[in-house]
Amino acid sequence: MSELSLDPTHWLPHRPPFLFLDSLLSIEPGVRASARWTLRGDEWFFPGHFPGRPTTPGVLLLESIAQCGAVAVLTDPRYVGRLPLFGGVEHARFRRQVVPGDTVEVACEMTQLSARGGKGFGSATVKGKVAVETKLFFILADAS
């Protein structure tokens, strides 16, 4: 197989301000992916979450994990032309805050894939410490 693009916009339909991956670190199509997201501090959500103590919203960390999982799915030739959509989150545990200046390492591994959807387990860490970990469920829709 030829080398896979490590640009998330090559694989994902997401664009700023709702793209929460700066670069992909590794991809194993249909199995797993890892990525990096650096919070600069000028992101749109920090002024309101929270004034004087900017903190990355937990739901956006979950979205970054889902986007990473979507890369693992969409790089698999079986799922070309499909769009993974959130079906659910289970056992999400938030362990530390993510603040401006942090670089988040995101990883997601597929635990089940079918023609209709799947499941995965993902995490987001900062400096090797878990910020959040969760199980994700998704359905596969047609992209058009």
- pLDDT, tens digit, for every residue of 25-67? 999 999 999 999 999 999 999 999 999 999 999 999 999 999 9
**Whether 10 is catalytic:** no
Per-residue pLDDT of 80-92, as tens digits, reads: 999 999 999 999 9
- Do the Cβ atoms of 98 and 104 come closer than 8 Å? yes
Is the model's pLDDT at 119 over the cut of 70? yes
144 or 26, which is more confident: 26
Query: Mean pLDDT over residues 106-116, rounded?
Result: 97
> What fold, for 8-142?
Thiol Ester Dehydrase; Chain A (3.10.129)
Verdict on whether the full-model pTM lies above 0.85: yes
26-40 burial, b at 16+ Cβ within 10 Å, e below that, comes to ebebbbbbbbbbebe
Is the model's pLDDT at 3 over the cut of 90? no
- Do the Cβ atoms of 69 and 30 come closer than 8 Å? no
Give me the percent of the chain exceeding a pLDDT of 70: 99
What per-residue confidence (pLDDT) applies to 2? 59
